[in-house]
């Protein structure tokens, strides 16, 4: 018995006239039904449509093979010092991956060379830039745990000026597997260190936790960019993040510092957003980027098209905001 059989039966049960001893009971019921045409969907039609869909083969979409680092387009300009920035906040859903994708793309469009390292097993940066994960044979997991050179996993020119070291779900095992490894906190630093001088910026998209992957990012990074969502409890967890930063700074990465605080999902119509901006500015002062990223539906739609906002909606508020942030990043040096 299929799903629809059950549905049909339920419908009948709930709308069936109550059985009465006399046939007279049925007449008013029939009249009533004729007066009020049914607004319920015709289950039989839906069933037929679904059966037709199921029997129609999907059109084969040609899948483009992934490019390798050797296919990288020649770099257009002289590269100075590489800045490694971890986009970090152990709080989930604050706009880390959205910022990583769109800041990378905005910097790329402004003529910078950017490597985006997807360090989150969710792989949101990879899918958000249209990487077909089923084609990835090796990802950042293999760099961290199987001594694969990072060049061997980088997909070049995923957007203008942007290369990506992608993540797949394999990376989820890294948190546990790294525990038993030697120099487990330094794996990413060693990998990324080899790429210094080849990019202007290396952006690392961190997972929403303070586990070993995030510690690897803290050790590999020169600076931290902390997105803070303009919502209730915006600063929740930030103290813990700053404590982790201080611990890593004192033992493993003495030059680590905050690069900037980025206010995300700002809604100018709400007093809450304004209060959060005031509170965060009071706490972090000039570290806060002057442009907040507005809440816009285009920013949440763009990843499903595998495009950064600068391609998906180049003239929109989200795109303009990330271009402003990219300008600030370049001017901060």
Q: Name the one range near Mg ion by CB under 5 A: 71-79, 118-126, 145-153, 172-180.
A: 118-126
* By CB under 5 A, residue 99 contacts Mg ion: no
Q: How many helices (H) and strands (E) does the chain have?
A: 14, 7
Q: Supply the minimum distance, in Å, between the C-beta of residue 133 and ligand ATP.
A: 16
One DSSP character per residue, 302-318 reads: GGGGT--HHHHSTTSHH
The count of other CB atoms within 10 Å of the CB of residue 13 is 8
Q: Name the one range near ligand ATP by CB under 6 A: 147-155, 182-190, 246-254, 295-303.
A: 295-303
Q: Which residues of 192-229 are buried (b: 16+ CB within 10 A; e: fewer)?
A: beebeebbbbbbbbbbbebbbbbbbbbbbbbbbbbbbb
If contact means CB under 5 to 8 A according to the sort of partner, which of Mg ion, ligand ATP, none does residue 307 touch?
none
**Token code pair at residue 127:** 């899918």
Q: Which is nearer to ligand ATP, 82 or 260 (CB)?
A: 260
Q: Which is nearer to Mg ion, 124 or 127 (CB)?
A: 124
Q: Residue of minimal CB distance from Mg ion? A: 97
Q: Supply the minimum distance, in Å, between the C-beta of residue 312 and ligand ATP.
A: 12
Measured distance CA(235)–CA(283) in Å, rounded: 9
Q: For helices 96-109 and 317-332, what crossing angle results, to 10°?
A: 70
**Token code pair at residue 146:** 């199987």
* By CB under 5 A, residue 96 contacts Mg ion: yes
* By CB under 5 A, residue 97 contacts Mg ion: yes
Q: Supply the minimum distance, in Å, between the C-beta of residue 9 and ligand ATP.
A: 38
Residues 38-97 that bind ligand ATP (CB under 6 A): 92-97
Q: Contacting ligand ATP (CB under 6 A), which of 293, 309, 323, 326? A: 293
What mask, x for binding ligand ATP by CB under 6 A, covers residues 200 to 239?
A: --------x-------------------------------
Report whether 200 contacts 184 (CB < 8 A).
Answer: no
Q: Contacting ligand ATP (CB under 6 A), which of 109, 118, 120, 185? A: 120
The count of other CB atoms within 10 Å of the CB of residue 123 is 24
* By CB under 5 A, residue 124 contacts Mg ion: yes
Report whether 264 contacts 92 (CB < 8 A).
Answer: no
| Element at 211 (helix H, strand E) | none
Q: Which residues bind ligand ATP (CB under 6 A)?
A: 92-98, 120, 122, 124, 208, 264-265, 293, 295-296, 299-300
């Amino acid at each position: 018995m299929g799903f629809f059989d059950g549905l049909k039966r339920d419908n009948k049960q709930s709308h069936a006239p109550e059985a009465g001893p006399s046939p007279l009971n049925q007449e008013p019921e029939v009249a009533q039904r004729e007066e009020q045409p049914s607004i319920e969907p015709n289950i039989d039609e839906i069933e037929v449509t679904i059966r037709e869909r199921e029997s129609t083969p999907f059109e084969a979409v040609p899948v483009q093979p992934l490019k390798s680092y050797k296919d990288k387009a020649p770099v257009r300009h002289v590269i100075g010092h590489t800045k490694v920035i971890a986009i970090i906040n152990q709080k989930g859903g604050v706009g880390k991956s959205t910022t990583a994708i769109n800041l990378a793309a905005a910097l790329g469009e402004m003529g910078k060379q950017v490597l985006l390292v997807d360090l989150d097993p969710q792989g949101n940066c990879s899918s958000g830039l249209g990487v077909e994960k089923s084609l990835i044979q090796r990802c950042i997991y293999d760099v961290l745990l199987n001594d694969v050179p990072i060049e061997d996993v980088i997909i070049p020119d995923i957007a203008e000026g942007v290369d990506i070291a992608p993540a797949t779900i394999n990376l989820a095992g890294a948190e546990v597997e790294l525990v038993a490894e030697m120099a487990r906190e330094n794996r990413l630093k060693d990998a990324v260190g080899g790429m210094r001088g080849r990019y202007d910026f290396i952006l690392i998209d961190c997972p929403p936790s303070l586990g070993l992957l995030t510690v690897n990012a803290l050790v590999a990074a020169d600076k931290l960019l902390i997105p803070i969502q303009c919502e209730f409890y915006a600063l929740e967890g930030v103290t813990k993040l700053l404590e982790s930063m201080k611990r890593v700074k004192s033992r493993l990465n003495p030059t680590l510092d905050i690069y900037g605080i980025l206010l995300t999902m700002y809604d100018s119509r709400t007093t809450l957003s304004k209060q959060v901006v005031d509170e965060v500015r009071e706490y972090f002062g000039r570290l806060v980027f002057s442009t907040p990223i507005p809440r816009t539906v285009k920013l949440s739609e763009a990843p499903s098209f595998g495009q950064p906002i600068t391609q998906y909606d180049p003239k929109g508020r989200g795109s303009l905001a990330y271009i402003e942030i990219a300008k600030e990043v370049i001017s901060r040096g």
